[in-house]
Structure 1
């Protein structure tokens, strides 16, 4: 059994289509088909049910897929460990976030400590993040909400209040706090359903007897402050998204504890490089510092 056979098998299992898998692997269809056929001959059983070029994993294939993924994962972790030992000052980090408001500050601090480490950041939904974590494809994730899983380590790093953002000149702009009842006739800008802050706020308002009226729903949380400033609507925003230079007032919510938890996540089976350990340290120091500022 060859390593190449396992890599080809995983790609065909993922796409379940010979043409698409060959295109993804940059090989010919005939070469891919022959490689998969040799693997099945080595194992003595078919791994796919075939209908033309369409393939579907059978019971043998599903069982073997679990082992093949684990084997290639361990080999990749060994490669990372050797690379880390041979050149700890140079390396890369794979990061994912569901919440990005504090990320520029964290990455700036990390880059000052390790200027030669490259990093790649993805903004993902919760489910996309779970998939990458379970596959061990990322070093760390910053997520709200926290995610629990058999292979996932979850450390709560910060609990932050969710505030109401209103533009200057708004009827509530001279207030420091507001009740939910006072907001029921307002128009809101927000992210789409499925984001933690949106779902939490909607649930709390529904329990208070009304549904929020949205004039804008999007996928970019960072755009909300500009919409608030423009007077399009008001918004529920986490405290870490506050920018004191913006002409926006932030009000606390009375009578309800509106908070969200931010967690640092990682796959406990993935090798943690020296650079990744230092990134975790920077994250912990950052949230410890802003926690002290709010006391």
Structure 2
């Protein structure tokens, strides 16, 4: 059994499509198919059920995928550890976030301490983040809501009140607080379903008898303030994402504990480099300063 066979098998197993897997691996379909066939011959069992151009993992394949991913994961951790030992001042920090409002300040502080360390950040839905976490493909995640699992470490770093943002001139702009029931006829701007804050506020609104009406749904939380300012709709915005513009007013929610928990997450078995440990310290210190 060869390492290349395992890498090709995992790619095909995740995509369940030879053409797409070949494109992702930058190899020909025929080469990929032959490699998978040789692996199945080595193992003595088929790993996929063939349905036209698509493949479906069978029971043998499902069980073997778990083992193959663990093997490749451990090899990758070994490579990362050696890279860290041989060049601790260089490398790339892999990050994923469902909440990005605090990230610029955190990354600025990190860059001051580690100017030669690169970072790669992905803005993801909660489910997308769970997938990367379980695979151990990111160093850290900043997530709201927190995610817990047997292979995931979860540290709550901040409890962030969620406010109602309205444009200047809005009927509620002179108020300091508002009940959720008073918002049932409003038009909202927000992120798409699948992001933690959206799912949280939708559930809370439903608990008091209404479904929020969204006139805009996107995947860029930072855009919401501009939309509120333009009087497109009102928004639920965490306190850490408040904009200092004078034309936006922020109201507290009455009689409800409307908060989001921000958590730092990492895979229990992923090798944590010295740079990654410094990043974790910076995150903790930053949120302590907000508290």
Secondary structure, counterpart of 1:266 in structure 2: strand
Matches within 5 A, 1:107-186: 107-186=107-186
Unaligned runs of 5+ residues in structure 2 are none
Give, in whole Å, the separation in 2 of the partners of 1:93 and 1:144. 20
Once residues 162 and 198 of structure 2 are traced to their aligned partners in structure 1, the CA distance between those partners, rounded to angstroms, is: 10
Which residue matches 2:216?
A: 216
**Aligned-pair Cα RMSD in Å:** 1.8
Residue of structure 2 in register with 1:257 after alignment: 257
- Which stretch has the larger CA shift, 217-226 or 158-167? 217-226
User: What is the rounded CA distance, in whole Å, between the counterparts of 1:175 and 1:57 in structure 2?
Assistant: 57
1:43 corresponds in structure 2 to 43
In 2, distance between residues paired with 1:170 and 1:49?
A: 59
Output the CA distance in 2 between the equivalents of 1:125 and 1:53.
29
2:127–2:194 Cα contact (<8 Å) kept? no
Moved over 6 A (4+): none
Q: TM-score, normalised by structure 1?
A: 0.92
CA distance in 1, matches of 2:169, 2:16: 58
> In structure 2, the residue corresponding to 1:182 is in which secondary structure?
helix
1:1-295 equivalent positions in 2, closer than 5 A = 1-51=1-51, 53-291=53-291
From the superposition, tell whether residues 39 and 163 of structure 1 become closer, same or farther in structure 2 (CA, over 3 Å).
same
**How far is 1:223 from its partner?**
1.3
Structure 1: where are the runs of 5+ without partners? Answer: none
Deviates more, 1:196-205 or 1:78-87: 196-205
Q: Write the deviation string for residues 23-51 of structure 1: whole angstroms up to 9, x where unpaired.
A: 33222333323322332232233323335
Q: How many residues align?
A: 291
Q: Secondary structure at the match of 2:249?
A: strand
